[in-house]
Each structure stands twice: as C-alpha cells, then as structure tokens.
Amino acid sequence: MVARLADKMPPMFTLIDGIYSLERGPSFDGRMRRSNLLIASSDVLSADLVGAGVLGYQPSEVQHLAHAADNRDRPYDLSLCTYCSGLIGPALTSIAFAWKGEPWDDVEILNGKVMAPTPGKKKTILFGKCMYQLNKDHPDIQEMIAIKGCPPTPMSIEKALNKAGIKVDPTFYKNIEQLPGYFLKRYEDKPEFDESFFRIK
C-alpha cells in the first residue's frame, strides 16, 4: 500500500527535512546531529529516491521505493518494517548492556524481510513475523527461537534472548516506553537542540 501512494498523488511540493538527522537509527536510540540538509522536489517519489541515496542506500534496497518505481516504470529491496524497527533499537541496547566480555554460543538474530540463516550457527532468533514466515522451515537452522508477532511484544523479545543465553535486563522491556527519555538526556542544555525547534506553533 505504501508503494502505491505515489501513484495517487498529483505533482506537489515535497520537502524532506534533514536539518536534524540520526547517525544511527531508526529511533530515539540513535545519535542526533545537525545536518542542515533539505531535499525538495515536485514529485514525492523523486524526493524519496534522492533521500535514500543521501542516506547511503541504493533505492533498490528500500522495498516500498523499489515497488513504487516499478509501478511507475521507473527502473529502482531490503527493508525493515515500521513495527519491528521501533523494537530493534531497544533490543540491541539490551544486548549491549548484557555483554560481559564472553562470546555467546553461536547465536544469530535475523530481522527484516530477506535475511537467511547462516549455516553452522547453533541458535537462530527469528525477529518478527516476516522473518518467521520466511525461515521457519529453513534447513540451516539448528535451533530456532521465534519471536512471532507484528510487532512482537517486548516480553517475547526478552524471553527469546534469554532462551538463547543472552541474559538481558528485564527492566529494558518492562519499562520500554521510558527508554526514549534515557537517550534524549544527552541533548539537554545544548543550544543546537533547543526544544523550540521541534514544536509547531
């Protein structure tokens, strides 16, 4: 459906506001920076294609852009859906805090829509509905740990990581809605991130 939006829209002024951007993303756990970048076009798809390139992605790597370009005969799919993208950041943060210097036992985590299991891995975590549907019967999986759902629940992520031997702090998942505040404190008292810049009056 997202890919079809461009087909229904007449020519219009489209603006991508990149004055602020994230060095890592896609959510609050990224590090914000002042980029002073604006992308403008009379065509919404063209603006998005240029935006993907500025971010370092080939348009063909962005699934909805690839479909939209095909729909309009504009020759341009690797993506992570919106629902899972908001949970990957907290999951990675909890894993980083769980690291004690010793390697985990050949665990891999697959997310997005196109990743495939690595032969020889002892445990494969399938993060989200797309990964589960794609790889649930894959012959290279020795032990599958499925995090089902679209999106998965925070508790199911914690349970799966613990089952894989990654002992994450449960407070990351019990209080997941408070996590943005933890990361946003780094911007306090920095004039280039004044709160008034992020308000519509």
State the Cα–Cα distance between residues 184 and 32, nearest whole angstrom.
Answer: 9
Residue range 144-173: mean pLDDT, rounded: 93
State the Cα–Cα distance between residues 161 and 98, nearest whole angstrom.
Answer: 10
**Residue-wise pLDDT tens digits, 71-117:** 777 655 456 677 787 888 888 889 999 999 888 889 999 998 888 99
73: Cα separation from own chain's centroid: 28
20: nearest Cα among 142, 194, 145, 164: 194
Cβ–Cβ under 8 Å, residues 43 and 51: no
Residue range 56-83: mean pLDDT, rounded: 73
Is pLDDT at 129 greater than 70 in this prediction? Answer: yes
91: nearest Cα among 164, 18, 190: 164
**Residue-wise pLDDT tens digits, 72-85:** 776 554 566 777 87
The residue with tokens 């990964």 is 131
State the Cα–Cα distance between residues 180 and 47, nearest whole angstrom.
Answer: 29
Average pLDDT, the chain: 84
Q: What is the DSSP letter of 9?
A: P
**Residue-wise pLDDT tens digits, 34-54:** 888 999 998 888 888 888 888
pTM value? Answer: 0.58
Segments making up each domain of the chain, as ranges: 2-71, 82-182
Is pLDDT at 179 greater than 90 in this prediction? Answer: no
pLDDT band at 4; cut points 50, 70, 90: low
Q: How many CA atoms lie within 13 A of 1 on its CB side?
A: 1
Query: Helix H segments across the chain?
Result: 5-8, 44-54, 63-71, 82-98, 129-135, 154-163, 171-174, 179-184
- Contacts with 57 (C-beta within 8 Å, 6 or more apart), sequence order: none
* pLDDT value, residue 161: 96
Cβ–Cβ under 8 Å, residues 11 and 42: yes
> What's the per-residue H, E or C state across 120-146?
CCCEEEEECHHHHHHHCCCCCCCEEEE
